[in-house]
Chains A and B, each alone.
Chain A
């Protein structure tokens, strides 16, 4: 049986490289040993097995002639580009992993806000779709004021003395709107945000009287305009033509200690109009 020496390492044929090897300049070619099999006597005349650096030419790759050993480039120099690109990489990584914010948070609330001042008209434009296909909502909105009220506009468009729960105050938001009469503007929302950041919506479940309040906060009774089609089987409703310009009110129930700070008008999140406001009375 062939015996091999104890220090034979079967893994030796698998090369390993160390990271520091990447930074070290390549070593000069190893000096060839005087091999026992090399021809003796007559061989010396043919070539010398040793390599000596030629004073005029580079003795091996990467070694400049006649210079001392190359100075080690500092850590900062070596990693300059890495450090410069590091903040860029961090920003890209954070942006790439923020898909959850975009998918869930952004579309879920009024995060695309058009700000306006009281009395200033703002052109609102939003793409939306229903069963009939894609539409573009275009409407001009001007918030004119907010004041406490004891009356609520009812389903027929008339003001009625209101009965509301104890501990609440009614605030009336006044607006002027204009839009093409073919624009579908049903489904609008009006919220009032107070100085503490609490949000109050236009709704009527807590209003005891009138029994049936105004249906839409931005459309007048009997002037709804074209309707949207939300389901296939939806029956068309009675047509209600809408003028090009109209003024309307939204009666919003707030806590009695609330001081209004902002009015928000929106149809579908994330787009909304927000108007900073203070009571005008």
Chain B
């Protein structure tokens, strides 16, 4: 059986194929374009998104986010950390600040004095007071009042202070609303009986967001927002009054 008599189907639409070289290029582009247009929408959308992402490169889309520069605060200036408006006033050091403290033999207490006022309508009870102030570049700070391991000088901002209400030397963890408290943030420093001459204080800001652990909103993600350097005043230790003889 030969092909004689068999109708030969000619595909329609080959008109675009021309033999002339000059007209070939736009014809090829048009064909490529129409091939592209025939693709399913999902594919087109994905390719478009990929191309757009690549195109952000020359415009800095792939560069690291810049860290904001730390502002320098002044003593007694009100700093808005988020949950608390604080001021930092002065720094003291003592081996026994008051009767409420036990005397330290091989170190001292470093105390940053200031004021706090809550910006919230209900008592802040999630440790915000201890989060907003940290010390930079100080060696031998105790990690927290529950963990007496000294922190290396490069990580001194991980040392958490204990808050005190200055007027009666009582510990303070929560900050009630609508009142301004004179407070001291206190760190224990061991390893050197000589306190530093001056200390860099770093103020952290907190963000109010939904906690991923609990379904509630909390002040989280402490991040440095300002710093200031203050001289350290050495105070004489408290001495128990001698019993009357």
Query: Taking the complex as formed, is A74 at the interface, i.e. its CB lies under 8 A from any CB of chain B?
Result: no
Tell me how far the C-beta of A80 lies from the nearest C-beta in chain B, rounded to whole angstroms.
39
Query: Taking the complex as formed, is B167 at the interface, i.e. its CB lies under 8 A from any CB of chain A?
Result: no
Q: Is the CB of B13 within 8 A of A2?
A: yes
**Bound form: Cα–Cα A42–B7 in Å:** 13
Q: Is the CB of B40 within 8 A of A10?
A: yes
- Which of B7, B16, B39, B40 contacts A1, CB < 8 Å? B16
Tell me how far the C-beta of A96 lies from the nearest C-beta in chain B, rounded to whole angstroms.
22
* Chain A residues, CB < 8 A from B13: 2-3
Q: Which of A1-32 contact B (CB under 8 A)?
A: 1-4, 10-11, 13-14
Number of interface residues of A (CB under 8 A): 12
Chain A residue with the shortest CB-CB distance to B38: A10
* Chain B residues, CB < 8 A from A2: 13, 16, 31, 34
Q: Which of A98-143 contact B (CB under 8 A)?
A: none
* Chain A residues, CB < 8 A from B38: 4, 10
* Chain B residues, CB < 8 A from A11: 40-41
* Chain B residues, CB < 8 A from A91: none
**Bound form: Cα–Cα A10–B41 in Å:** 8
**Bound form: Cα–Cα A3–B15 in Å:** 11
Q: Is the CB of B40 within 8 A of A14?
A: yes
* Chain B residues, CB < 8 A from A3: 13
* Chain A residues, CB < 8 A from B40: 10-11, 13-14
Tell me how far the C-beta of A105 lies from the nearest C-beta in chain B, rounded to whole angstroms.
20
Q: Is the CB of B30 within 8 A of A1?
A: yes
* Chain A residues, CB < 8 A from B34: 1-2
Chain B residue with the shortest CB-CB distance to A2: B13
* Chain B residues, CB < 8 A from A37: 7, 9
**Bound form: Cα–Cα A2–B32 in Å:** 11
Q: Is the CB of A10 within 8 A of B39?
A: yes
Chain A residue with the shortest CB-CB distance to B9: A37
Residue among A2, A37, A39 with most chain B CB within 10 A: A2
**Bound form: Cα–Cα A67–B184 in Å:** 94
Could you give, for residues 177-204 of chain B, a 1 whenever the CB lies within 8 Å of some chain A CB and a 0 otherwise?
Answer: 0000000000000000000000000000
Tell me how far the C-beta of A263 lies from the nearest C-beta in chain B, rounded to whole angstroms.
39
Chain A residue with the shortest CB-CB distance to B31: A2
* Chain A residues, CB < 8 A from B16: 1-2
Tell me how far the C-beta of A8 lies from the nearest C-beta in chain B, rounded to whole angstroms.
8
Chain B residue with the shortest CB-CB distance to A46: B1
**Bound form: Cα–Cα A39–B4 in Å:** 11
Tell me how far the C-beta of A279 lies from the nearest C-beta in chain B, rounded to whole angstroms.
47
Tell me how far the C-beta of A148 lies from the nearest C-beta in chain B, rounded to whole angstroms.
45
Q: What would 22 A/B residue contacts be, using CB atoms closer than 8 Å? A: A1-B16, A1-B30, A1-B34, A2-B13, A2-B16, A2-B31, A2-B34, A3-B13, A4-B38, A10-B38, A10-B39, A10-B40, A10-B41, A11-B40, A11-B41, A13-B40, A14-B40, A36-B9, A37-B7, A37-B9, A39-B6, A42-B1
8 further contact pairs, Cβ within 8 A, besides A1-B30, A2-B31, A14-B40:
A1-B16, A1-B34, A3-B13, A10-B38, A10-B40, A11-B41, A39-B6, A42-B1
In the A-B complex, the 4 residue pairs with the closest CB atoms: A2-B13, A10-B40, A11-B40, A37-B9
* Interface residue ranges, B against A (CB under 8 Å): 1, 6-7, 9, 13, 16, 30-31, 34, 38-41
